[in-house]
Amino acid sequence: MTDAATLVNDAELALVPTPNMDDLPRRLSDFATFGEALDYAAKGKRGLNFHDPRGTLKRVYPFSELRDDALDAARRLIAHGIGKGDRVALIAETGPEFAALFCGCVYAGAWPVPLPLPTSFGGKDAYVDQLAVQMASSDPKILFYPGEIAELAHPAAERQGCEGLSWQVFAARAAPDCELPQASPDDVSYLQYSSGSTRFPHGVAVTHASLLNNLAGHGEGMKLVDNDRCVSWLPWYHDMGLVGCFLSPIANQMSADYLRTEDFARRPLAWLDLISRNPGTTLSYSPTFGYDICARRISSQSHVDERFDLSRWRIAGNGADMIRPDVMQGFVNAFAPAGFKASTFLPSYGLAEATLSVTIMPPGEGIRVELVEEERLSGTARDLCRPARYRAIVNCGKAVKDMALEIRGARGEALGDHQIGKVWCRGPSVMLGYFRDPEATDACLVDGWLDTGDMGYMVDGYLFIVGRAKDMIIINGKNHWPQDIEWAVEQLPGFNHGDIAAFSVETETGEESVAVLVHCRVSDPEERQKLHDTIRDKVRSILGHPAIVELVPPRTLPRTSSGKLSRAKAKKQYLSGEIEPIRLAA
């Protein structure tokens, strides 16, 4: 007797993921346009594979099928009145529907604009506001979204005055034959918004030439081999997920396995399960917090060697945020019994304005750090009455293919090794500019050089990132990095990465002060007071003067769509009263 459950199980067993190996010779993104890259990848057997929250394979999507669906989508778009250069907003859900529509836009000559899912936002109104702001900047002709979030996406489309349509409805429409426009390398391929694009969004216009050059640098920098396979949970609305883990596997012909970001958040160890099941060599990226979450989920009593096999994990990329060497060491300690090697870590540095990658650590070199005095980082003279404090600065690797780097001082002069200044880069993958924002473009692009807004220094061709210039706190003429304050407080018992936000505020007297917001999980009033006093003393020891310390409820501090702490938003919400500190006993 056969029942429905048996049929479902048989169907699941019949699914075979796309292979790691292929007879198609690998080309490292040496194409004129991204459409050509997909045309070539479709000649092979590799492709994309989508998994459920438990890591069970649910959809196998060879590049050949993606190309067929994308060409159908392109014909539907043209029949719908979408022309070359039109913007098409897409809610970037990790799945075949978004993949086909994104590539369909490219074939149709339209500019896909990936927008975030609602999982990273506090409520319906905040999410609709986020979509509306980015859509006002990109001015799309239509917004496509999963039917399940129609009540969230449709109001944003109405506010913008553009059409809103679920991709399920769109896919049911006819795809009449038509002539597709010819793309050139200098055409814009898509519009990318950075994870911090909120009130003043900056859409980065990425050309085919820029994209393919960066993807070639990505493939060459990681020294791709035939048996490599990508495993990812990163969101496709963020440049590391979109470019590094969706577009790169296509242009470099590599199979990939995906968990949705929201599924990783609920079951992070499913990521490591997927890596363990890969018979080939794995390439997988994560910001620091992803490694931190996994290490914290594993107790010291767990037999990780019985559950995981991480011995074939060739590249464990790290980027999109400041890299924490202590967190990386914690991950090594937790998963070394499962075969994970510290040399697997591959730090990198990049930003949407450079398409993605600027530097990549040579594979096998792992995490390398330099201990630097905090006074040198802040550019202030050493106080000989206080003991020296050091911060571990991570080596982010060497410039990718065709990328030039410079460290510049306050007057724009080039600095030598070990001298801290602004990080500038220049190369074919650096953006032409922000979409319809010449003022912002002129503020960061000078003679083809991009001011990244980050501070760092070079040593023998390797780049070390110190922090964001805009995050620097200046009090009484002395510079302080918020990371130093946050990391110091995190060393106290009971805190996780991302529990603290430090920034400057103006006091009632008009003077600048440091405010430190800290997630508090203590309910007893006396213990809260003790915790507050301990943090206050710790911060004072770092700054050399008092600071404003506020305890706030857990999960209060805002994050960007890629999961990074947003200090700017935390400051805004604190000053507006949206973040309400916990009242302490008198």
* Dist CA 372 CA 375 (whole Å): 8
Placement of tokens 């710790």 in the chain: 538
Beta strands in 155-213 (DSSP E): 163-166, 188-193, 203-207
Instruction: Calculate the dihedral angle through the C-alpha atoms of 69, 72, 74, 77, rounding to the nearest 10 degrees.
Output: -120
Is residue 392 in a domain? yes
Q: Length of the chain in residues, anyone?
A: 586
Q: What is the pLDDT of residue 302?
A: 72
* Dist CA 475 CA 511 (whole Å): 9
Token couple for 586: 């008198």
What are the phi and psi torsion angles at 54 (to 5°)? -95, 5
Q: What is the pLDDT of residue 538?
A: 82
Instruction: Calculate the dihedral angle through the C-alpha atoms of 299, 301, 304, 307, rounding to the nearest 10 degrees.
Output: -100
Q: What is the pLDDT of residue 82?
A: 95
H/E stretch holding 277: helix 269-277
Q: How many CA atoms lie within 13 A of 246 on its CB side?
A: 27
Same domain, 195 and 310: no
Burial 193-214 (b: 16+ CB within 10 A, else e): bbbbbbeebbbbbbbbbbbbbb
Give Cα separations from 508 to 476, 536, 551 (angstroms): 16, 20, 20
Beta strands in 154-280 (DSSP E): 163-166, 188-193, 203-207, 228-232, 256-258
Q: How many structural domains is the chain composed of?
A: 3
Same domain, 452 and 480: no
CB contact set of 20 (below 8 Å; sequence gap of 6+): 46, 226, 227, 228, 229, 255, 278, 279, 280
* Dist CA 366 CA 332 (whole Å): 11
Three-state DSSP state, 96 = helix
Contact between 564 and 195 under an 8 Å Cβ cutoff? The reply is yes
Same domain, 401 and 541: no
Question: What's 304's domain CATH number?
Answer: 3.40.50.12780
Q: What is the pLDDT of residue 495?
A: 79
Contact between 393 and 464 under an 8 Å Cβ cutoff? The reply is yes
Q: What is the pLDDT of residue 477?
A: 54
List per-block mean pLDDT (blocks of 10 residues) for the chain, which spans 586 residues.
Answer: 45 79 94 98 97 94 98 96 95 96 97 85 72 89 93 90 92 90 96 65 91 95 94 92 96 96 92 94 91 85 86 91 84 94 95 93 92 66 57 90 94 91 95 90 92 91 85 65 77 79 75 83 86 85 78 83 72 84 78
* Dist CA 314 CA 345 (whole Å): 8
Q: What is the pLDDT of residue 358?
A: 95
Token couple for 570: 């935390």
Pick the last residue of a domain from 410, 438, 469: 469
Pick the last residue of a domain from 430, 450, 469: 469
Question: What's 563's domain CATH number?
Answer: 3.30.300.30
Contact between 41 and 63 under an 8 Å Cβ cutoff? The reply is yes
Same domain, 447 and 481: no
Same domain, 519 and 539: yes
- In 10 A of CB 151, how many CB atoms? 9
Is residue 223 in a domain? no
Is residue 381 in a domain? yes
Is residue 154 in a domain? yes
Q: Which domain holds residue 420?
A: 268-469
Is residue 544 in a domain? yes
CB contact set of 79 (below 8 Å; sequence gap of 6+): 173, 174, 175, 176, 178
Same domain, 360 and 486: no
Same domain, 294 and 154: no
H/E stretch holding 171: helix 167-171
Same domain, 456 and 479: no
CB contact set of 570 (below 8 Å; sequence gap of 6+): 501, 503, 517, 557, 558, 579
CB contact set of 354 (below 8 Å; sequence gap of 6+): 214, 403, 425, 427, 429, 430, 431, 450, 452
Q: How many CA atoms lie within 13 A of 217 on its CB side?
A: 30
Pick the last residue of a domain from 405, 434, 469: 469
Q: How many CA atoms lie within 13 A of 138 on its CB side?
A: 36
* Dist CA 4 CA 2 (whole Å): 7
* Dist CA 133 CA 127 (whole Å): 10
* Dist CA 6 CA 11 (whole Å): 9
Q: What is the pLDDT of residue 541?
A: 75
Nearest to 478 by CA among 550, 382, 566: 382
Same domain, 448 and 509: no
Three-state DSSP state, 253 = coil
Same domain, 10 and 140: yes
Could you say which DSSP state residue 64 is in? H
H/E stretch holding 504: strand 500-506
The pairing of strands 188-193 and 203-207 is: antiparallel
* Dist CA 54 CA 263 (whole Å): 8
> Using alpha carbons only, what angle is made at residue 422 by residues 420 and 426, rounded to the nearest 5 degrees?
125
Is residue 583 in a domain? no
Same domain, 287 and 436: yes
The pairing of strands 404-408 and 390-399 is: unpaired
Same domain, 371 and 321: yes
0.85 exceeded by pTM: no
Q: What is the pLDDT of residue 11?
A: 46
